[in-house]
Structures are given as C-alpha cells and as structure tokens.
C-alpha cells in the first residue's frame, strides 16, 4: 500500500518529493515473503536497466515473521539466507552495494489486527511483536555482513510513544506511519540520488529557464 492515497503512502510521498529528479518504482506484492520475492527478483530486476538505479530498497520480513503455523512463515535461518541471496543477486548484475538499502520489518500491534480481522469476519494471522524483533535484528545482521545500508525501522518505531498510531490495522502503515518511514528513509535516498544525478539533480530545466525562441538549446541536449 505504499501508493495508497488513504493509508501507507510512503512510496507516494517519495515519488512526489523526487519528481523530475528520480522515478520511484514500487514492486510490492501483498502477502509475499522473502522466499517468494527471491524467486521473482530476477524477473523484476534485470541487468539491462541496472545503470539507471540510484538506490534499491528491500523492505521485507513482516510476513516471514508470522508464526510457523502460517502459510507465510519463513524460518529465521531461511530469512537470513533469502535476504543475503537477493543482495548477492543484485550485486551480481551490477548494483553497487552502496546503492542497496535494507529496511527491517516494522513493529506489530496484535490487538489492532485482531480487532480489524474481527470487523471483517476474517481469521487473524498468528503473529507477535517479539518474534518480529528477531527478524528485524536478523535483517540488521545481514546488512552488516553484506555491507549494505540498514534502516532499523523496528528500533526507530520502538523509541516513539505513539508507535501504535503508526499502524492502521496493526500490520500496515497509517498515514502517520508512512510519514515516519518517509522521514527516516529520505536522507539516505537524497544522498544517493544526488550522487547519481550530480550537481544539477533535475530532469530538464524549469520552464522559465527555457529560451522560448530556441527551446531546443535547453531541452534536446539535456541528459
């Protein structure tokens, strides 16, 4: 839901911020875990467009951290292995490690998810916050071992008194949570986009900077 206008819109916030500087391309798959994502990554990210990447964000683990009775569950060891293999794949096709950012799974609020599922008449997935913490810490360990950037979202949320307000259903972000993630992630992406695009950091000049008599001078040769 990273582009959802009502909830969880951190992707949309980034796209708005980086307009005319960089495109934000989401590849979120509802309910997927790292095992599923590892399989589809070569189809989603191929070598031909690696040169266009300023940053690549991997934000996985909330579904993996479901309890073992869940269809979404991935063991802690497999979670570690899957993340490492995805990072190694990205490196193998030419994505520099400095461009890769891992985000840990966020905190989880069980009672809110129970209430949400009850309203919908749906069974509640089996999850717990302390289990999610283990996956978040493992994500951090993988980032350190693979020498990529880590944003420890679980830890950052835990520091906030109102962290429960950041989740709209106990699992997915509310607008408050989306803004919180946006603020945390933005400095890391700003640095990488600036480095990627150079000092101009803008696609084509502003309209007032274009010579109306000879617009091609300003526009045709822009990179």
For 180-195, the pLDDT digits (tens) are: 999 999 999 999 998 8
Q: How far apart are CA 65 and CA 61, in angstroms?
A: 6
How many domains would you assign to the chain? Answer: 1
Task: Tell me the mean pLDDT in the region 24-32.
Answer: 91
Q: Is the CB of residue 154 less than 8 Å from the CB of residue 133?
A: yes
208 or 38: which leads in pLDDT = 38
Could you tell me if residue 206 is inside a domain?
no
Q: What's the start-to-end Cα distance of the chain, in Å? A: 32
Task: Tell me the mean pLDDT in the region 205-213.
Answer: 80
Could you tell me if residue 163 is inside a domain?
yes
Could you tell me if residue 80 is inside a domain?
yes
Could you tell me if residue 218 is inside a domain?
no
Range of the domain at 110: 10-198
What mean pLDDT value characterizes the chain?
Answer: 89
Burial bucket for residue 220 (CB in 10 Å: 0-12, 13-18, 19+): exposed
Other C-beta atoms within 10 Å of 46: how many?
10
pLDDT attached to residue 221: 56
Could you tell me if residue 223 is inside a domain?
no
CATH number at residue 172: 3.40.50.1110
Could you tell me if residue 208 is inside a domain?
no
């Amino acid at each position: 839901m990273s582009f959802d206008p009502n909830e969880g819109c951190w992707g949309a916030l980034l796209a708005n911020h980086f307009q005319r500087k960089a495109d934000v391309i989401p590849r979120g798959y509802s309910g997927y875990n790292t095992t599923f994502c590892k399989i589809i990554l070569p189809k989603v990210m191929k070598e031909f467009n690696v040169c266009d990447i300023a940053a690549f964000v991997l934000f996985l683990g909330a579904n993996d951290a479901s309890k073992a009775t869940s269809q979404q569950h991935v063991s802690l060891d497999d979670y570690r292995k899957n993340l490492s293999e995805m990072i190694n794949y990205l490196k193998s096709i030419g994505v520099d490690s400095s461009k890769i950012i891992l985000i840990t799974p966020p905190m989880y609020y069980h009672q809110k998810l129970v209430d949400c599922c009850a309203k919908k008449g749906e069974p509640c997935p089996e999850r717990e916050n302390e289990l999610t913490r283990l996956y978040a810490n493992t994500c951090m360990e993988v980032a350190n071992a693979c020498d990529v950037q880590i944003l420890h979202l679980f830890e950052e949320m835990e520091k906030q008194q109102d962290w429960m307000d950041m989740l709209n259903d106990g699992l997915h972000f509310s607008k408050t949570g989306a803004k919180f993630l946006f603020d945390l992630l933005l400095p890391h992406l700003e640095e990488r986009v600036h480095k990627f695009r150079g000092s101009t950091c803008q696609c084509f000049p502003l309209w007032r900077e274009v010579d109306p008599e000879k617009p091609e001078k300003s526009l045709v040769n822009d990179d």
